[in-house]
Chains A and B, each alone.
Chain A
Amino acid sequence: MPKRKDIKRILVIGSGPIVIGQACEFDYSGTQACRALKQEGFRVILVNSNPATIMTDPEFSDRTYIEPLQAEAIARIIEQERPDALLPTLGGQTSLNLAVELAERGLLEEYGVELIGARLETIRLAEDRERFRRAMLEIDLQVPEGEVVRSLEQALAASERIGFPLIIRPSFTLGGIGGSVVYNREEFPAAARWGLAASPVGEVLIEQSVLGWKEYELEVMRDQADNFVIVCSIENFDPMGIHTGDSITVAPAQTLTDVELQNMRDAAKKIIRRVGVETGGANIQFALNRDTGRMVVIEMNPRVSRSSALASKATGFPIAKIAAKLAVGYRLDEIPNDITRKTPASFEPAIDYVVVKIPRWDFEKFPGNDRRLTSQMKSVGEAMAIGRTFKEALNKALRSLENGWSGFHAREEASIARLSRTALLDDLRSGTPERILKLWQALTLGISPQELCRLTGIDVWFLENLRQLVEFEGTITREYAERSTLRAETLRRAKRMGFSDRHIGLLLGKRETEIRAMRKAAGVLPAYKIVDTCAAEFESFTPYYYSTYDEENESLPSDRRKVIILGGGPNRIGQGIEFDYCCVHGIFALRELGFEAIMINCNPETVSTDYDIADKLYFEPLTYEDVLNVIEHERPEGVILQFGGQTPLKLAVALEKSGVPIWGTSPDSTDLAEDRDRFGSLLDELDIAHPQYATAVSVEEAAAAARQIGFPLMVRPSYVLGGRAMEIVYDPTALETYMHQAVRASEEHPVLLDRFLEDAYEFDVDALSDGEDTAIVGLMQHIEEAGVHSGDSMAVLPPYLLSREQREDIVEATRAIAARLKVKGLLNIQFAILYDTLYVLEVNPRASRTVPFVSKATGIPVAKFALRIMAGERLAALKLRVPAELPYVAVKESVFPFDRFEKADIFLRPEMRSTGEVMGIAETFGNAVMKAFEATGIQVANGGRVFLSVNDNDKARIVPIAENLHKLGYALVATHGTAETLASRGIPVQPVLKVSEGRPNVVDDIKNGAIQLIINTPLGHRARQDEYAIGWTAIKYRVPFITTLSAAEAIVRGLRARERHPSEYRCLQEYHRLL
C-alpha cells in the first residue's frame, strides 16, 4: 500500500514544554515526523507551545502554531485549518491525551478529521489500566495481579486483597506521576489519594508488586498490513520498582536466551495486534522473574516514547520518521533503510555494540526531598554511550553525565567513601542517583556480586562486569607501582574496558594530560566504528560513529573544510533543549556555507544526535579526552563551543591550550565575563553600573564583604549555570549558614556576593556581534522583579515598560561590552533598572537560553547568523533586519517540576528550577500572557473563587489586583491580614483560616475544589509550613498558583483580555509576515 492520496493536510501535535517524563526526545521525534511528512508532500500543520524546539521552526511545517496545547485552542486551529488527519502519536502523552479529548468531544468527527497512527479505541485500551489487563489475560499473557479502582474505598479494599508491597499506577499520566510503591497500610491512603488526584480520569491501578524482577522493554513497529518488527530490546540495569526513565538501561537485552527473547517478541506481537496499533511504533514493558523465568506484561505505550528515541539512537533505526510514514499508508517494506539504502525498513536491526543510558537528576535543586528512586520519574535528562562492551559503554556513559565522575570509580566521592559498611549495604537496597558509585565502593570492600544482586535486584551479570572493572583498577595500580609506567598492553586493556585517561590518572596520582601523553606514546588510540543497523552485514552510508579501542577505524576524515560543534550533553535544569536548538542551527548554517559539519554530543534525546542532521555525528562523551580525540582525528578548521551551553565552555581553556582552533569569542573573553574582578573593572572602565560585589572563600571574608556592601545580598558559587546554589540573603545569620554550605559545595571557586537590587526591573538582551558591530536581536523584559532567576521568570518581547532613553542606554551598553569582549557571535546580557539607573547583572558571551524564543518571536535565525559571524562574515554583510516594533507580543513562561518533589519550595528564587518553557504569542500583552499561562497548564476558570494571601510589603499592591478580580466576577477569599486590607478598601472578601489556625482551612477548600486560583506571596524569605501545605495541595489538585505580585498583575491583565477579546490563533508564518 503506497502513500495515501486521500489526505493532504495533517495536524501534528507536539508535546509542549519540557517536563520531567516528557523532554526533548519528542522534539527529536516530532522534527523527524514533520520532515518526513513534508518530504512526502503533505501540508503539515503543527501545534506545540514550546518555542525552544526545532520542530517549531517555521521551515519544518507549513503552518506552525505556537499555541497552548489545550483542546479549545486546538479545536479552533482545526476549525481554521481543516486538516484531513491528526497524527497524535509523536507528541508524547500530551498529544495522545489531547487526541482522546478532541475525539470524545466529537470535534474530530465534526470537522472530518481522521486519527492516524493510532485509533481512539487503541489509545483507550492501552491507557485504560483495567481494560488493558483484561485484554492481556484474553490473549493468554500474564500480568501482575491487580485491580483498577476509582475511589479510596475501592483502593483500600483492593490493597487488602492484593497485599503489600504494591504499586499504584494512575491512568493516563506521564512519567509515572502520582505513582508509588507502597510498603504498608499506613502509607497507603495518602498514596492512593495522590494517585487518584494525579490521574486526569481519577483512576488508578492497584497492582501486585513485582519489585526486584528484571525489567525489559521492546520497541516495536507495525504497519497496516500487519507487518511487525522489533527495533530494539532494552534491559534495565535497575530492576522493577524504579521507573524506566530513572533506570540505567542497556541495549540490547544482555541476559535473555533466544527462547526468552522470542517469547517476549511473540507476546509483543500479540499485544500490539490485540491493542490495535495499526501503524507506527509502540513500546511494551515486561518483567521477568530471575529465578523462574516467569514473564509478565507491565504496560504498553501506543506511541513514540522516550525509550523509542533511545532505541532510535541505539540502533540507527529512525522510529519516528518511519512511524510517520506508516501513518500515511506506507508499508515497512516500501520504506528504504536510510543507512544501507539498499535494504528495506522491514527488518530488525542487528547491533554489534552495547548501549548504556544513565539518567541525570537534579535533586540538589530540591533540597529535603527523598533521593530514593521510585516508580515516579524524577530525572531531568540522560546521557547515552556506545561501546563494544557493557564495561566500555558504562564507563563512557558515566563520564558523559558531567557530574564530575571519571567513570566507574568513587574514591574521590567523599560522601560515599565515608559510608560505613552497614550504611552502605543499607543504602544499596534502594535506587538513588549515586547507587552505581556505591556499588563501586561495595565491590572495593570485597562484597560479592551475588550478595549485591540479592540486595539490589541488579542482575549478577552486570555486577560481575562491574567487579571486573574494580579488579582492573588493582591491576593498573599494581603494575604502575612495580614499573613506574604502564605497559602498552595494559593501557590498551584499560581503554577497552572504557577507562578514561582521567580515571587512570586518579588511580596513579597523575594528571589526565600525563596519561594521555603516555597512552599516545604507547600508540593506544581510539578507533571509530559506525552505527549501521546491520552489524556490518551491508555497506552503510550514514556517518554515525562511536569510539572504541578496537583495531579497525571506519571513520575516514574527508578533505573538505570542516567544523566541529560541541553539543550540550545531558539535559539538566539550566542546560536544556535551548542549547541543542542552537547547535542544530549551527549545523544547518555550516552546511549551508558548504562546510562539513561535525557534531559531538552524548544526549540521546536531542535533534543534534539525529544522524541525518550533521554531516558526521560522533556520539561521544563531552570530556576533554573524548572531544580532543575526535578533534585530533578530524583536524577541523574550527571548533565551536558557544552553542552548547556550559558543557563545552568548561572545556574551552583546556582545548585552547591543546592548540584547538576555537571559533567565535575567545575563551579568554568568556573567562573575563565570568571573572568578577576582571569584569568589574571592565565595566568600571566603560562607566557602566553594576551591583557592588565581592568574593569570599571563608565565612569571615563574607561577613566583612557584607558589612561593606550591605544587605540584601545575592550569593552564589562562581562558575555555575542555572544559578545553582544561588540565594538572596537578608542578614548575617543567613549569610553564615549559606557560606557553610556553599563553600563546601565548591572548594575550587570562591563565593560571589552581589548587592541585590530589590524591586528592580530586569531585562534580558540577546545580541549578535562581530567584535565591532553589534545588533540587539532580542530585548526582553522580565515580569518578575529581580531576584527570580532569568530562566524561571516570565519574559516579554517587546518590553512593556521601558522608556526610549532606557532602551538607548541598553543598546549603548551592549555595544560597548561586545566590543570590549571582542564578541564573535552570540552575546547575552542581563540588565536591571532601579530608580532609572541601568545595571549590568551578568554577561554571557555565548548562546543563551532565550535564543530560540527570540528567533521564534522575531523570525530572525539568530544562531545561524552567529555561526556565519564565527565563520568570518561581518555583521553588516548578514543584512540582518531587526524589526523596530513588533506588531504583536510574545511571552515566555517557565514550567516547574514541583509536582514531583513533595518538599520543593515553590516560591521562585534566584536559583533556576524550571525544566522547560512555553510561549504565548498574540496581538496584545494580555492575550499573550493568558496564552502563556494556559500553555503551562494553568487553566483559570471563568469564575469561582480566588484565594489571596500576601505579605505586608505586598498589601498595597494586591488591592488593585483584587479589585480587578472582583470586577471580573471572581469571589475573593483571603487569609486574615490580607482580608482585612481588602475589606478596608471596600472589596468584598471572605476570610478563610490558615492551616495553622484550625479547620476547615484553605487546604480543605482547595481539596474540595472550592478554590480556582491562588495568589500567595511568601511571607518570609523562606516559605513557611503553611505555604508549603497550600502550595503542595494546589499542585496535587492542579489549582493555578501564583507566587509573585507581578505575575498576579499579569494574569489579571490576561483574564481581562480573555474577557474582552477571546484569543485568536495564528501561525508563526503569519506573524512573521507582519514584520
Chain B
Amino acid sequence: MKARLILADGTCYEGLSFGHPGEAIGEVVFHTALCGYQEILTDPSYHYQLVAMTYPQIGNYGVNPQDFESRRIYAAGFIIRELSPIVSHWQANRSLDEYLRHHGVPGIHDIDTRALTRRLRDHGAQMGMITTSTEPVADLLARLRAGKTLVGRDIVHEVTTAAPYRWPLREEDANAPSPPARKRFRVAVYDYGVKFSILRSLLRSGCILEVFPAATPPEEILAWNPDGIFLSNGPGDPEPVDYAVQAVRKLLGRRPIFGICLGHQILGLALGGRTRKLKFGHHGANHPVQYLPTGAIEITSQNHGFIVDIDSLPGDEVEITHINLNDQTLEGFRHKRLSAFSVQYHPESAPGPHDSQYLFDHFLQEMERFHA
C-alpha cells in the first residue's frame, strides 16, 4: 500500500506503508543511530514524534522480548528507507512490521530518508504526517497545520504513571542480573516518561526504586523517605511542565538529585536557567561529549529537541560539567553546594555506547555522602 509523508512546509514524500495503515501526525525528527530501533520506538520521549532513521536498512533483527524501554510504542510514526523483508536474530519473536501493526503505529518506507534529513537539517524539525489516505495534499496539509506543535505544551502528563509503584513490576522489565549485596539506596523516580534502561541502571547499582507520577508533590516524595531523587527523561517542551519545576525547586538540598534529559532541563529551570528549542535536535548515538573536570570524551546517546541555555544558569551556583563537542551546547552541570547534578544526554544509552555509566556511580556517591 502506498503511503505519504507530508511536512508542514508542504514537502511530500511518496513511499510505501508498513505497520498500521492509517494516519499519524507528529514532529518529524531524524535519528542517526545505526541500530536500536526497538529501544527508540518504545522510549516515551518520542511521544508525538515521527522518527526517521537515517540508516537505511531497518528491521533486520526484528523485535525481541528483551530490548524494550517501555511497554508500548511511543513514537507516533516511523520513517525508514528499506524495511527488512525478514527477521534474522536468535532473540527475535516478531518482525518490526508486525510490532508496529500490533500497536497501531503507522510506518512509511521506501522514501529518500537522506533527502528528508537534509531538509530537516536545513529548515529545522517540523510537524509532519504519515498517511495512507489518498486525499489531495492540500487537504492533508490543512489538517496537519491545524495540529498542535510540541512547543509550549505539556505532554508529560500523558506518559507519566498514574500512581506510584515499585519497579520492576514485572521481572522481565528489569532484564538484568540481581544487584550486588551492599547498601541499597532508596531512590524516588519522578516519572516524566522514564526509560526502562535508566531504571535498570539504577537497579544494577543496587537501588530500591519507587516510581512516582510527574505531578507528585515534593512532600509525598519526602514522606517515602528516599536517599535520592531521580528526575527522568521525557517528551516535549520542559517549560510548560511547571509543576515539576516547582517541585524540584522545593526538593533541592533536601536529597541528592540526579536528572537525565527532560529531568536535566527541569533541574535547569528550577535553578533559574532557560530552555530553548534546537533547530533539529540531537537524536543519535555518536555525539561526543566532554566531561570538563577530566577532559575525557564520552560518545553519547542523545535524544532531545530542547536544551538548557548554557549561559542562562547562575554561574556562582552552577558548574558546567559537560559540553557537546559538536555544537558546544550544554550537556551537564552540577550545583556547587547542593547535591544536584544532571546530564542532557542518556548515560543509560539504549541505544548507544556505554561510556557514561559512571554517572550512576556518581549518584550513589552523592547519596552515600549525603547519608553520612
Contact = CB atoms under 8 A, between A and B. Distances in A.
B265 interface: no
B33 A350 contact: yes
B326 A255 contact: no
Interface string A426-438: 0000000000000
A347 B351 CA distance: 16
A342 B354 contact: no
Contact of A388 (B82, B91, B118): B82
A1014 interface: no
Contact of B114 (A349, A536, A539): A536
A343 B112 contact: no
Interface stretch (A289-297, A406-414, A1053-1061): A289-297
Interface string B113-126: 11101100100000
Contacts of A331: 297
10 A-B pairs with least C-beta separation: A258-B36, A552-B115, A258-B351, A461-B88, A535-B54, A350-B32, A551-B112, A348-B286, A536-B117, A550-B112
A256 B114 contact: no
Interface stretch (A351-359, A625-633, A969-977): A351-359
B56 interface: yes
B329 interface: no
B290 A255 contact: no
Nearest to A349: B286
Given A257-B67, A346-B325, A333 B290 contact: yes
A664 B82 CA distance: 44
Contact of A461 (B32, B60, B114): B60
Contacts of B312: none
A1049 interface: no
Given A346-B325, A352-B114, A256 B61 contact: yes
Contacts of B33: 258, 350
Interface in A464-478: 464-465, 468
A254 B60 contact: yes
A293 B90 contact: yes
Nearest to B53: A352
Majority secondary structure, B binding face: loop
B67 A537 contact: no
Given A257-B67, A536-B117, A464 B354 contact: no
B326 A343 contact: yes
17 contacts: A225-B295, A252-B55, A255-B88, A257-B36, A258-B285, A258-B351, A261-B34, A343-B288, A347-B286, A352-B114, A460-B86, A464-B88, A535-B30, A538-B121, A539-B121, A550-B114, A550-B115
B86 A461 contact: yes
B349 A227 contact: no
Interface in A540-582: 550-552, 554
Interface string A244-288: 000000001111111101100110000000000000000000000
A390 interface: yes
A122 B86 CA distance: 43
Interface residues of B, number: 54
Contacts of A344: 288, 325-326
Contacts of B161: none
Contacts of B296: 225-227
Contacts of B112: 550-552
Interface in B109-139: 111-115, 117-118, 121
B248 interface: no
B54 A290 contact: no
A351 B55 contact: yes
A353 B39 CA distance: 21
A459 B288 CA distance: 33
Contacts of A468: 85
Contacts of B286: 347-350, 534
Contacts of A460: 86, 88
A352 B55 contact: yes
Contacts of B121: 536-539
B201 interface: no
A258 B54 contact: no
B351 A537 contact: no
**Best-buried of B33, B91, B285, B297 by chain A (most CB within 10 Å):** B297
Contact of A536 (B91, B118, B355): B118
Contact of A348 (B36, B38, B117, B353): B353
Given A227-B297, A333-B288, A389-B81, 20 more contacts: A225-B295, A228-B355, A230-B299, A254-B57, A262-B353, A293-B91, A347-B286, A347-B288, A347-B326, A348-B286, A352-B32, A352-B54, A352-B56, A354-B56, A389-B82, A535-B54, A536-B30, A537-B121, A552-B112, A552-B114
Contacts of B295: 225
Interface residues of A, number: 59
A291 B56 contact: no
Given A290-B90, A348-B299, A257 B38 contact: yes
A229 interface: yes
Interface in B80-102: 81-82, 84-86, 88-91
Contacts of B81: 352, 388-389
Nearest to A345: B288
Contacts of A293: 90-91
Given A347-B326, A388-B81, A537-B117, A266 B55 contact: no
B56 A353 contact: yes
B365 interface: no
A252 B34 contact: yes
B347 interface: no
A200 B66 CA distance: 48
A698 B60 CA distance: 53
B354 A262 contact: yes
A529 interface: yes
B82 A464 contact: no
B86 A258 contact: no
B8 to A, nearest CB: 19
B216 interface: no
Interface in A677-716: none
Given A389-B56, A550-B115, A464 B34 contact: no
A332 interface: yes
B76 interface: no
Given A227-B297, A347-B286, A351-B34, A259 B354 contact: no
B41 interface: no
A229 B55 contact: no
B246 interface: no
Contact of A529 (B39, B114, B288): B114
**Best-buried of B114, B287, B299 by chain A (most CB within 10 Å):** B114
Interface string B258-294: 0000000000000000000000000011111010000
A346 B114 contact: no
A30 B10 CA distance: 49
B284 A537 contact: yes
Contact of A262 (B30, B84, B349): B349
